Amino acid sequence: MAMGLIRLLFIAFTLVLLSILPLHLSLADEITSIESVPDLQKLMYVAVDGFPCVRLLNLSGEIGCSNPGINKVVAPIIKLKDVKDLVQPHTILVTADEMEDFFTRVSTDLSFASKIGGVLVESGSNFQQKLKGFSPDKRFPQAQFSPYENVEYKWNSAASSIMWRNYNFPVYLLSESGISAVHEILSKKKMKHGTYTSDVAEFNMVMETTKAGTHNSEACLQEGTCLPLGGYSVWSSLPPISVSSSNNRKPVVLTVASMDTASFFRDKSFGADSPISGLVALLGAVDALSRVDGISNLKKQLVFLVLTGETWGYLGSRRFLHELDLHSDAVAGLSNTSIETVLEIGSVGKGLSGGINTFFAHKTRVSSVTNMTLDALKIAQDSLASKNIKILSADTANPGIPPSSLMAFMRKNPQTSAVVLEDFDTNFVNKFYHSHLDDLSNINSSSVVAAASVVARTLYILASDNKDTSNSALGSIHVNASFVEELLTCLLACEPGLSCNLVKDYISPTNTCPGNYAGVILGEPSSKPYLGYVGDVSRFLWNFLADKTSVQKGNTTSVCSKGVCSKTDEVCIKAESNKEGTCVVSTTRYVPAYSTRLKYNDGAWTILPQNSSDSMGMVDPVWTESNWDTLRVHVYTVQHSAYDNAVLVAGITVTTLAYIGILAAKSIITKALKQD
């Protein structure tokens, strides 16, 4: 007995020792500890971070991407270069430099397109360097609004038009973390268990318009499965216009910029050069001019207008001009006749070349007003001689003005005398126009500062109607370069993004990463909208412009807690970031931006019939964006069904064998007991 015990103990001890010995060798690496079933599920179904391409509709059909039906799309992942003969739909992993060729091939080769379940786009920084240019937009963006005949002119040389086509599968741009998640799961497969598993991507990007079967704007607006594109433009006058005195209106010098851009992927569109560089130059000029004394004594009134929705049929400018015709509240203080000069600031971020910032002034037509503007630009340029700035007139061989808000102004009134300042002459220098790659690294902040300086001084000259360059006031107009640089990082980068101090001083942003896509217009359009429906950038611009163009009445500043100020010409600014805002005297207003073909009635949008007096409305596609529930992509590993069946068979076998064994043991025991 004792021997048996000792033998037993010895065996057990050896076993334990054997088991523990190899352990000290291999515990160096990290284990992700799973502490609960939800943790396990998160590790199994890896959520992939990124930016989707969504479904947009117009009067005649759809563009963009969506799940083909109402179900999730699950398809095995394969790299584009490994694609040979696909039998079932796959998820194609495409790199940024392959994107243009891939989407062009999809549109032309239908058999190839039918084998695509979904697309994941990898746009890491290593691919960006390989790309010389990439623009998913057309060769002549928004050519149908051009005021001149030559619509074949190639303004955008890097164009591929891929964002304007209809794709019947989901497309997702991977973020940095998304790329590493996908690569990790693909490498695991290669290393270990490749034969009976496959890695799949699951796209949950079902669009409501697909679910409801509404495939154009009219149908989807009727069903309520989509919303029209638009937003809120902002205008402000320096100094404030007193609405009460309708006489003695000074002629207006209107400066225009846009705040919206677009790209293949709705949430990754910074639009650094086109058009945010122009917007920042405008804000820099406003900041510089706000510090000049005697602005109210100038002969002309300066008005700054920042439009949105320009990418989608010049919604902002068309609605602004329409509101001017209607003499509505949104444009109280302005009128069609009072606007004498228009200066638009287009893309000004890529003017730096060889140490000199060169900008081109494109004029709508030859007139005394445009000559005056060009002269003012030249004078401003000369006064800034030390800053290496050159302003040149655009080539007369150009068919006309480049795609810009002025095209809409011209179409409305062919007699418009206006000038648009751009960093290019005969075609775009921005090789990433309307793409997700038009980010902060695509522009030069000194170019934007230079443009702001020129514009500020030009506006002062135009407003003072004074050609005297020795005017000391002109020499005192300086743009704050650090302000411009900070603003660029707020509007064109995720760090610090809209959480930067400059923006947080005025508003409480809902997102940190700026997305300069116009988005949809929410709720009822009005000049005093519910601020929860107004985008972060619009609210920032309204507060900023109101602050910079305000005048102080007396020494006391009153506070406003509910956004309402007691005096009629006062507005309440900074009401979001601080609990209580400040009342300032300023003329700063929101103007809704939406198609002139749309009307809002009782909570629904209706499309108005074509009206020959609205020539731009006749060619307006009336863009809308589909609603959706969720936009998510997961990546996980799936076993082949043969393996699953094998496991079930194994389980049944084990159970049956055990049952047989138990029955056998029972009969042996009963037999043994019955032997007496």
Partner 1 sequence: MTVTAGIGYALVALGPSLSLFVSVISRKPFLILTVLSSTLLWLVSLIILSGLWRPFLPLKANVWWPYALLVLTSVCFQEGLRFLFWKVYKRLEDVLDSFADRISRPRLFLTDKLQIALAGGLGHGVAHAVFFCLSLLTPAFGPATFYVERCSKVPFFLISAIIALAFVTIHTFSMVIAFEGYAKGNKVDQVMVPVIHLAAGMLTLVNFASEGCVIGIPLLYLVASLTLVHCGKMVWQRLLESRNQSSASR
Pairing assessment for the beta strands 301-307 and 231-238 based on DSSP bridges: antiparallel
What phi, psi does 593 have (nearest 5°)?
-120, 110
Nearer to partner 1, 25 or 385 (CB): 25
Pick from 35, 152, 293, 602 the residue near partner 1 by CB under 8 A.
35
Q: Could you tell me the smallest distance in angstroms from the CB atom of residue 330 to partner 1?
A: 53
How far is the C-alpha of 390 from the C-alpha of 360, rounded, in Å? 8
| Using rule CB under 8 A, residue 392 touches partner 1 | no
| Using rule CB under 8 A, residue 579 touches partner 1 | no
| Using rule CB under 8 A, residue 441 touches partner 1 | no
**HSE (side-chain half, CA atoms, 13 Å) at 64:** 28
What phi, psi does 487 have (nearest 5°)?
-65, -35
Q: Could you tell me the smallest distance in angstroms from the CB atom of residue 676 to partner 1?
A: 5
Q: Could you tell me the smallest distance in angstroms from the CB atom of residue 23 to partner 1?
A: 5
Beta bridge partners of 360: 392, 422
Q: Could you tell me the smallest distance in angstroms from the CB atom of residue 75 to partner 1?
A: 12
Residue 628 CB-density burial (10 A; 0-12 exposed, 13-18 middle, 19+ buried): buried
Q: What does the H/E/C string look like for 319-357? A: HHHHHHHHCCHHHCCCCHHHEEEEEEECCCCCCEECCEE
Q: Which segment (172-180, 234-242, 543-551, 638-646) binds partner 1 by CB under 8 A?
A: 638-646
| Using rule CB under 8 A, residue 37 touches partner 1 | yes
Which is it for the CA torsion 286, 287, 288, 294, positive or negative? positive
Size of the site for partner 1 (CB under 8 A): 64
Contact 319, 305 (CB under 8 A): no
Scanning the structure block, which residue is given the tokens 């050896």? 14
Which is it for the CA torsion 150, 154, 155, 159, positive or negative? positive
Nearer to partner 1, 59 or 74 (CB): 74
Pick from 386, 470, 556, 675 the residue near partner 1 by CB under 8 A.
675
Query: At residue 36, what is the residue type?
Result: S
| Using rule CB under 8 A, residue 664 touches partner 1 | no
Q: Could you tell me the smallest distance in angstroms from the CB atom of residue 186 to partner 1?
A: 14
| Using rule CB under 8 A, residue 45 touches partner 1 | yes
Nearer to partner 1, 30 or 149 (CB): 30
Q: Which of residues 171-210 bind partner 1 (CB under 8 A)?
A: 188, 191-193, 197
Q: What is the secondary structure of 506-568 as a DSSP string?
A: T---S-SS---B--BPPS---SS--GGGS-HHHHHHHHHHHHHT-B--SS---EESSS--SST
How far is the C-alpha of 374 from the C-alpha of 498, rounded, in Å? 35
| Using rule CB under 8 A, residue 658 touches partner 1 | yes
Pick from 47, 564, 608, 650 the residue near partner 1 by CB under 8 A.
650
| Using rule CB under 8 A, residue 672 touches partner 1 | yes
Q: What does the H/E/C string look like for 580-639? A: CEEEEECEEEEEEECCCCEEEECCEEEECCCCCCCHHHHCCCCCEEECECCCEEEEEEEE
Nearer to partner 1, 564 or 660 (CB): 660
Per-residue mark of binding to partner 1, 15-34 (x: CB under 8 A): xx-xxx-xxxxxxxxxx-x-
Pick from 187, 371, 647, 667 the residue near partner 1 by CB under 8 A.
647
Nearest alpha-carbon partner for 479 in 348, 571, 575, 668 = 348
Nearer to partner 1, 19 or 88 (CB): 19
| Using rule CB under 8 A, residue 150 touches partner 1 | no
Nearer to partner 1, 74 or 212 (CB): 74
Q: Which segment (6-14, 238-246, 488-496, 614-622) binds partner 1 by CB under 8 A?
A: 6-14
Pick from 71, 599, 651, 667 the residue near partner 1 by CB under 8 A.
651
Site for partner 1, rule CB under 8 A: 1-2, 4-5, 8-9, 12, 15-16, 18-20, 22-31, 33, 35, 37, 40-41, 43-45, 74, 188, 191-193, 197, 636-639, 641, 643-645, 647-652, 654-656, 658-659, 662-663, 665-666, 669, 672-673, 675-676
